[in-house]
Chains A and B, each alone.
Chain A
Amino acid sequence: EVQLVESGGGLVQPGGSLKLSCAASGFTFSNSDIHWFRQAAGKGLEWVGRIKSKRQDYATAYAASVKGRFTISRDDSKNTAYLQMNSLRTEDTAMYYCTRRETFTDYWGQGTLVTVAS
């Protein structure tokens, strides 16, 4: 069974940092692209960024709203992807989800809540 489990969310002050994890199981993690999305309370879904597989040189891409502040990485030996978030703003407050993409984006984790507030 494919599973993605996010963790690492919490309350952080504006300007602070947080690192989210996405632990995967039930599939060959190293072959999959991993995407991060977020959803503010009562709002729609927003793509944050992605990291490709080793076969594609771990290429990353980011939404304009987070570029230069967020960094996605992965450790295939641990079947885990990460989202390092720096210089956090109140508008980054959201539920953060990771997903896998092979030919298409299918499985989503249950999400981890990030709250940026003073």
Chain B
Amino acid sequence: DIVMTQSPLSLPVTPGEPASISCTSSQSLLSSNGYNYLNWYLQKPGQSPQLLIYLGSNRASGVPDRFSGSGSGTDFTLKITRVEAEDVGVYYCMQDRQVPLTFGGGTNVEIK
């Protein structure tokens, strides 16, 4: 199974400041088709997860451009240029390169 390691576990942020979350996989998520099968999700309190970034660096429809994803192979990063109050929740990276699909442990983003 591919092990996903996410950091930090908790991230207190000041509104307007940037934030960054790291995700590392135990095996490469880069497929022969050139896609990195790494997605980022945000689970707001009481809600189901919502897709933010797919295939490593592509913003999902309706996601503000303050969110960006980067990385390839085994190392990935989610960045928020200026955090807003509505961005609070738990962020997860997930690999869907192969089954079993696996997640990072989550990063709880909260406003200071």
Contact = CB atoms under 8 A, between A and B. Distances in A.
Interface stretch (B43-51, B70-78, B79-87): B43-51
Given A107-B51, A108-B48, A45 B96 contact: no
Interface stretch (A18-26, A75-83, A97-105): A97-105
B67 interface: no
Interface in A45-73: 45-47, 50, 61, 63-64
B92 A61 contact: no
B99 A108 contact: no
Contacts of B48: 97, 108-111
Interface in B4-52: 35, 37, 39, 43, 47-51
Contact of B106 (A44, A105, A111): A44
Contacts of B43: 45
Contacts of A110: 47-48
Nearest to A109: B48
Contacts of B106: 44-45
Contacts of B102: 47
B109 interface: no
A49 to B, nearest CB: 8
Contact of A45 (B47, B60, B103): B103
A45 B37 CA distance: 17
Chain A at the B interface: SS class:
strand
B96 A104 contact: yes
Contacts of A101: 96
A109 B49 CA distance: 9
The residue among B92, B96, B101, B102 with the most chain A CB atoms within 10 A of its own CB is: B101
Contact of B50 (A35, A45, A108): A108
B51 A45 contact: no
Contacts of A108: 48-51
A106 B54 contact: yes
A104 B58 CA distance: 11
A106 B51 contact: yes
29 contacts: A37-B101, A44-B103, A44-B105, A44-B106, A45-B43, A45-B49, A45-B103, A46-B103, A47-B99, A47-B101, A47-B103, A50-B99, A50-B101, A63-B100, A64-B100, A97-B49, A101-B96, A103-B35, A104-B37, A104-B55, A105-B39, A105-B94, A106-B60, A107-B51, A108-B48, A108-B51, A109-B48, A110-B47, A111-B48
